Amino acid sequence: MDLLSAFPADVNAQESDLISDLDKVRQDSELICAPLEIEDFGIQTFPDVSPPKWHLAHTSWFFETFILKPFYKKYNEYDPLFSHLFNSYYEQIGTFHPRPERGLLSRPTVKQIYAYRAHIDQSMRTLLEHKQHHDFEAIQLRTVIGIHHEQQHQELLLTDIKHIFAYNPARPAYRNLATPKPGMPISLDWREQPGGIYDIGTNFSNLFVFDNETPRHKQYIQPFKIASRLTTNAEYLAFINDDGYARPEFWLSDGWKTLNTNNWQHPLYWQKQNNDWYEMTLGGLRPLDLHAPVSHTSFYEAAAYAAWAGERLPTEAEWEVIARDLPTNGNLRENDYLQPMAVDEKHKPAQFYGDTWEWTQSSYSPYPGYKPAAGALGEYNGKFMSSQMVLRGGSCLTPANHIRASYRNFFYPKDRWQVTGIRLAKDL
């Protein structure tokens, strides 16, 4: 399978000005890092978190490795060592520095990495201006992939910065953020969906899609109901107060083991002070908004809460059938709250897009007929289709033009440093 069929897109329909779109996404990454002090750029608080300067360099390495080196004959490599330092996991490309040790490197400096980014940006502009290149269609498509890849890393940048700041006992704020008004309690209703055979995934559209969203296929779904909104902090607190973290009957075996190994007692970033709950945010430590969606829960916690509530998590197909008929708007990164927010009664069904990524009960596996692209880019998604769970919908840190109903995110069941939350479902 070639690259063009593995990552389907109508480039011309999507990218009226590819250079402008590329410039914007590259600037956005640097704007995200603008509030950081120089001391913040090299911190790695646990193996899954990467230092901010690594994200800035790796996203540049992606354009260099998959576009500039193969297609730009006059390209001058910035530093040969960078191909090792900033390769994330592409075995077919060559060696890479161990992920848990990214924070041990003081060099290259932040200044050098920004110079590297400028070198890549100028080279990409020059290449994209050469529209007579015989491989220009492949260059365009790989540029679009690189743009969406960098948007993924922008979300990781923000979640990694949050973890870095939360690790600091001073609980510093990343920057001043608007504080939404405290939410009001709203009812939880159920949207009913009849059973039947549904088309799931996508084959081709005017919008870019990742290969793991393909091919479109038919799937039978039993009748079900899905919650009209996300589970709130107040509802999750009721689970905690009912000894939810001490009752093994609600937990999967691996979840119970993980809970006890890590001494989990509440979602990541919750903190209790004088009988009041607080939550670490990118705006610093704030009182917990009881009516906002609970976030930073693992799949194990989401499944345990659902069992306690007498319900279950939706499958990814159920979620997609509902969400694709809804507008892709919500509390996304452009809102600039960078934190899940409560909704009101008039906006239901709500929060399918934005606020938190939603755990499903579906394992991350290939769709029927899926084949990864040939070559190293085939490692982008396919090699991870093992031992992970699918999440849907985007979060308050997801760019609005990056999310869609067919988008499949995936993390390990224990992961909770991402903005991950809970939507309930049940059988009819």
For 363-405, give the DSSP string.
Answer: E--PPTT--PPSSGGGGTTGGG-SS-EEEES--TTS-GGG--T
pLDDT value of position 5: 46
CA distance 276 to 286: 11
Q: Please answer whether residues 133 and 71 qualify as being in contact, where contact means their C-beta atoms are separated by less than 8 angstroms.
A: yes
Kindly state which CATH superfamily the domain 190-427 is placed in: paralog of FGE (formylglycine-generating enzyme) (3.90.1580.10)
Number of neighbours of residue 192 by Cβ within 10 angstroms: 9
CA distance 270 to 265: 9
pLDDT in tens, the chain (428 residues): 444 445 555 444 444 489 999 999 999 999 999 999 999 999 999 999 999 999 999 999 999 999 999 999 999 999 999 999 999 999 999 999 999 999 999 999 999 999 999 999 999 999 999 888 889 999 999 999 999 999 999 999 999 999 999 999 999 999 999 877 777 878 999 999 999 999 999 986 667 899 999 999 999 999 999 999 999 999 999 999 999 999 999 999 999 999 999 999 999 999 999 999 999 999 999 999 999 999 999 999 999 999 999 999 999 999 999 999 999 999 999 999 999 999 887 777 899 999 999 999 999 999 999 988 888 888 888 899 999 999 999 999 999 999 999 999 999 999 999 999 999 999 99
CA distance 312 to 250: 11
Q: Please answer whether residues 399 and 154 qualify as being in contact, where contact means their C-beta atoms are separated by less than 8 angstroms.
A: yes
Q: CA gyration radius for the chain? A: 22
Whole-structure pTM value: 0.95
pLDDT value of position 134: 83
> Tokens at residue 186, please?
């709203």
- DSSP line for 72-119: -TT---S-TTHHHHT--S-TTT-----GGGGGG---S-HHHHHHHHHH
Q: Please answer whether residues 51 and 43 qualify as being in contact, where contact means their C-beta atoms are separated by less than 8 angstroms.
A: yes
Distance, first Cα to last Cα, the chain: 41
Structural domain boundaries of the chain?
3-167, 190-427
Side chain identity at 322, as an amino acid letter? I
